[in-house]
Amino acid sequence: IFLPSPSPITTMVDMETQYHPPSPLEDSVLGSPLCADDDFMGGMEQLQDISQSISDDALSSFGVPKYQSSSNGSDGSTVLDALTPASSPSSVVYGVVASQEELSSSSTSLNLECRVCSDRASGYHYGVHACEGCKGFFRRTIRLKLEYDKCERRCKIQKKNRNKCQYCRFQKCLSVGMSHNAIRFGRMPQSEKLKLKAEMVTVDKEVENPQLADQKTLAKHIYEAYLKNFNMNKAKARSILMGKTNTAPFVIHDMETLQLAEQTLVAKMVGSVGAMKDKEVEVRIFHCCQCTSVETVTELTEFAKSVPGFSNLDLNDQVTLLKYGVYEAIFAMLASSMNKDGLLVAYGSGFITREFLKSLRRPFSDMMEPKFQFAMKFNALELDDSDLALFVAAIICCGDRPGLVNVAHIEAMQESIVQILQLHLLANHPDDTFLFPRLLQKLADLRQLVTEHAQLVQEIKKTEDTSLHPLLQEIYRDMY
């Protein structure tokens, strides 16, 4: 079912309509560190057909209810891969939280396997659990700066053959996360020991209960979609903010550094400054915030399609969920790029200070400060990207949005995701039993933040010499 007079946001989930917005930003892409590459508009014009991300059988096993969509969805049935990248929290056990009795009755010595060769690990070495042999091998390779003859066979490293191919063994060390910078002195923290014991106690239960394995697979699937669809994630952002990258971001703290950034950072990304160069700085920054927002909305749309069951919804419901959910998700993810002093811009190549943003004239100076205040509290929860992926999915699949057609189905989807989020947090943060209720409180905070933001944008639209991107106009229209 297609909406009459398709709106920009409808087009982003519509598999047939092609949208070519007469964007007021199109010919005047501003050279500013906040502005993303305008090639993202191609994604809006060439969206592929919506298809099921998993089969009906898989949906049933995830606890997501079947739904016969009235939209012209594809009948594709793609098998869901059990994705386990080296960076993913693959060791987290979902669905079971071991009791204190089970933890205390488990072996006091953790019989953990070496991440490299599967021999018995002697401890936590260079960032991973490893045996004495692989610890010594990695230490010698790093200290002596040894270089091994390249091997293309991708040898499988096991205890019995680990000494046969030194090149593949070293590559395996790197792939599982061994690093000289990850040396840790002292005993294993109690929280990590509890987490590892919980994994050992619950592994048999997971085998006995296939639903637990399905929950873990769904969490991995959503996490992979999160990493795939968003240019910036928390791991990247925190690495830049903590100075762990080769190149530090260019700091924008006054008008002079802003103008320099417009000539350097942005010139490389988008070329010409365009017609906006004669506008005052506040209008230029507001314009670039729109560019970034439109790109993130596009990323969120693709991410939403990867959430099991979303693409099977009535098209009107897909549009409604995105309309009311994207800004809550944007501000939740934006917190990852913020600290108390400012935020990353231009994919992390720039950093604009909080004080500079506060120095802008009103109402523009009121735009970012509430986001900083929220971010400081949200970042205190210490979520990682696997947590955020499920949280963003729960935001999008929210059953209380105005105007939904199939409320019961969407509420069931949300309940399934929230349940997995709760179990994931208990397993991923075993020493913070109140993290889940505190995170749920942030949903209410985000809704209030978006309401105030929408009101401010409408004020700027009425009183300032600027315009809104058509996609954002559609989102803001009748929002609250």
53-97 tens-digit pLDDT: 323 333 333 344 433 333 333 333 322 222 223 333 444 444 444
Mean pLDDT of the chain: 74
At residue 125, the pLDDT reads 85
The pLDDT value recorded for residue 276 is: 60
Domain borders along the chain are: 8-84+215-476, 109-208
pLDDT digits (tens, 9 = 90+) for 417-465: 999 999 999 989 988 889 999 999 999 999 999 999 998 988 888 887 7
CATH 3.30.50.10 fits 109-208, yes or no: yes
pLDDT of residue 19 exceeding 70: no
Geometric angle at alpha carbon 280, from 276 and 285, rounded to 5°: 70
104, pLDDT greater than 50: no
Reduced to 3 states (helix: H, G, I; strand: E, B; else coil), residue 215 is: helix
Contacts of 25 (CB under 8 A, 6+ apart): 38, 287, 290, 291, 469
pLDDT of residue 331: 95
Q: What is the pLDDT of residue 8?
A: 57
Give pLDDT, residue 420: 93
Phi, psi angles (nearest 5°) of residue 342: 170, -165
CB 62 within 8 A of CB 211: no
DSSP 50-105: P--SS-HHHHHHHTPPP---SS------PPPP----TTS-TTPPPS----HHHHHH
Question: Which band of pLDDT confidence, cut at 50, 70 and 90, is reported for residue 223?
Answer: very high
Above 60 in pLDDT, residue 111?
Answer: yes
- Alpha carbons within 13 angstroms on the beta-carbon side of residue 82 total 6
Using DSSP, state whether 145 is helix, strand or coil: coil
Q: Would you state the structure tokens that stand for residue 169, as one six-digit string?
A: 């063994």
Residue 379 is predicted with a pLDDT of: 95
- Is residue 363 reached through a cis peptide bond, with omega within 30 degrees of 0 on the bond before it? yes
Exposed/middle/buried for 100, CB within 10 Å: 0-12, 13-18, 19+?
exposed
Q: How far apart are CA 352 and CA 204, in angstroms?
A: 50
- Distance of alpha carbon 58 from alpha carbon 124, whole angstroms: 37
pLDDT at 48: 32
Residue with tokens 């199109």: 26
CATH of domain 8-84+215-476: 1.10.565.10
pLDDT score for 192: 60
For residues 62 and 467, what is the distance between their CA atoms, to the nearest angstrom? 44
Fold match flag (8-84+215-476 vs 109-208) = no
Least confident of 39-48, 273-282, 312-321: 39-48
Mean pLDDT of 215-224: 89
In this prediction the pTM is 0.61
Task: Quick: pLDDT tens for 371-406.
Answer: 999 999 999 999 999 999 999 999 999 999 999 999
